[in-house]
Amino acid sequence: MPHDHPHEHLSPSGHPYRPDQDGPLTAAQALEIAVRELLIEKGVLTAREIADAIARMDARSPAAGARVVARAWTDPAFKARLLADASAAAREMGCDIDALRLIAVENDETTHNVVVCTLCSCYPRNLLGLPPDWYKQRAYRSRVVAEPRKVLAEFGLELPAHVRIRVHDSTADMRYFVLPARPAGTEGWDEERLAALVTRDCMIGVAVPQAPK
Amino acid sequence: MTDAPESSLDPVLRQWHDMGGLPAGPVDPAEHDYALWEKRVDALMVLTTGKGLFTVDGLRRVLEDMGEESFAAMTYYERWIHAVNRNLIEAGAYTTEELARKLAEVRARGEDYGACSLDRGDG
Amino acid sequence: MAERVRVRAWAPPGLHVRTPWYLRGRVGEIERELGLFANPEQLAYGLPARRLRLYRVRFTMAELWGPRAERPDDVLEAEIFEHWLEPLDDAS
Q: What is the pLDDT along chain A (213 residues), one digit of tens a residue?
A: 334 444 445 555 566 555 445 689 999 999 999 999 999 999 999 999 999 999 999 999 999 999 999 999 999 999 999 999 999 999 999 998 988 999 999 999 999 999 999 999 999 999 999 999 999 999 999 999 999 999 999 999 999 999 999 999 999 999 999 999 999 999 999 999 999 999 999 999 999 999 777
Whether residue B12 is contained in a domain is answered as no
Q: What is the mean pLDDT of residues C44-69?
A: 97
A120 catalytic, yes or no?
A: yes
Chain C interface, best mutation among A111, A143, A166, A171, by max C CB count within 10 A: A171
* pTM of this structure: 0.92
Whether residue B11 is contained in a domain is answered as no
Work out whether the CA dihedral A184, A185, A189, A191 comes out positive or negative: negative
Whether residue A68 is found in the same domain as residue A160: yes
CB distance C24–B9 less than 8 Å?
Answer: yes
What is the signed CA dihedral for B108, B109, B115, B117, rounded to 10 degrees? -90
Identify the band that residue B118 occupies on the pLDDT scale cut at 50, 70 and 90.
confident
Of A11, A53, A169, the CB nearest to B46: A53
CB distance A28–B82 less than 8 Å?
Answer: yes
Q: Which amino acid is at A45?
A: L
Residues 153-192 of chain A whose Cβ lies under 8 A from any Cβ of chain C: 164-174
CA distance B59 to B69: 17
Identify which of B86, B90, A119 has the alpha carbon closest to the alpha carbon of residue C46: B90
Whether residue A127 is contained in a domain is answered as yes
Whether residue B107 is contained in a domain is answered as yes
A117 catalytic, yes or no?
A: yes
Q: What string of H, E and C letters represents the secondary structure of chain C? A: CCCEEEECCCCCCCCCCCCCHHHCCCEEEEEEEEEEEECHHHHCCCCCCCEEEEEEEEEEHHHHHHHHCCCCCCEEEEEEEHHHEEECCCCC
Of A120, A142, A170, A202, which is the active-site residue?
A: A120
Whether residue C34 is contained in a domain is answered as yes
A98 to chain C, any CB pair closer than 8 A? The answer is no
Whether residue C57 is contained in a domain is answered as yes
Residue C46 falls in which region: left (phi positive, over 0), alpha (psi -120 to 50) or beta: left
Whether residue B57 is contained in a domain is answered as yes
Task: Read off the CATH number of the domain in which A88 is found.
Answer: 3.90.330.10
Show the domain range for B112: 41-116
Whether residue A18 is found in the same domain as residue A89: no
CA distance A86 to A81: 7
| Total domain count, chain B | 1
Whether residue A111 is contained in a domain is answered as yes
CA distance B70 to B40: 20
A202 catalytic, yes or no?
A: no
Q: What is the mean pLDDT of residues C30-45?
A: 97
A22 to chain B, any CB pair closer than 8 A? The answer is yes
Whether residue C92 is contained in a domain is answered as no
| Total domain count, chain C | 1
CA distance B119 to A3: 24
A 10 A CB-CB count for B62 gives: 20
For B12-71, give the DSSP string: GG--TT--TT-----------BPPHHHHHHHHHHHHHHHTTSS-HHHHHHHHHHT-HHHH
Work out whether the CA dihedral B87, B91, B94, B100 comes out positive or negative: positive
Whether residue A48 is found in the same domain as residue A88: no
**Cβ neighbours for B67, distance < 8 A, ≥ 6 positions apart:** B16
Whether residue A185 is found in the same domain as residue A100: yes
Identify which of A74, A70, A73 has the alpha carbon closest to the alpha carbon of residue A198: A70
CA distance A25 to B114: 9
Instruction: Give the largest Cα separation in chain A, rounded.
Output: 60
| Total domain count, chain A | 2
Task: Read off the CATH number of the domain in which C70 is found.
Answer: 2.30.30.50
Whether residue A211 is contained in a domain is answered as no
Whether residue A129 is found in the same domain as residue A175: yes
Whether residue A83 is found in the same domain as residue A179: yes
Show the domain range for A41: 8-58
Per-residue pLDDT reduced to its tens digit, A123-160: 999 999 999 999 999 999 999 999 999 999 999 999 99
Identify which of B111, B45, B35 has the alpha carbon closest to the alpha carbon of residue B84: B45
Whether residue A46 is found in the same domain as residue A132: no
Whether residue A43 is found in the same domain as residue A69: no
ipTM of the prediction greater than 0.90, yes or no: yes
Whether residue A113 is found in the same domain as residue A193: yes
Identify which of A140, A151, A210 has the alpha carbon closest to the alpha carbon of residue A182: A210
Whether residue B47 is contained in a domain is answered as yes
Show the domain range for C25: 4-87
Whether residue C78 is contained in a domain is answered as yes
Whether residue B61 is contained in a domain is answered as yes
User: A17, A38, A58: which is the final residue of a domain?
Assistant: A58
User: A58, A77, A99: which is the final residue of a domain?
Assistant: A58
Residues 20-79 of chain C whose Cβ lies under 8 A from any Cβ of chain A: 20, 22, 34, 37, 40, 54, 56, 61, 64-65, 68, 70-71, 73-79
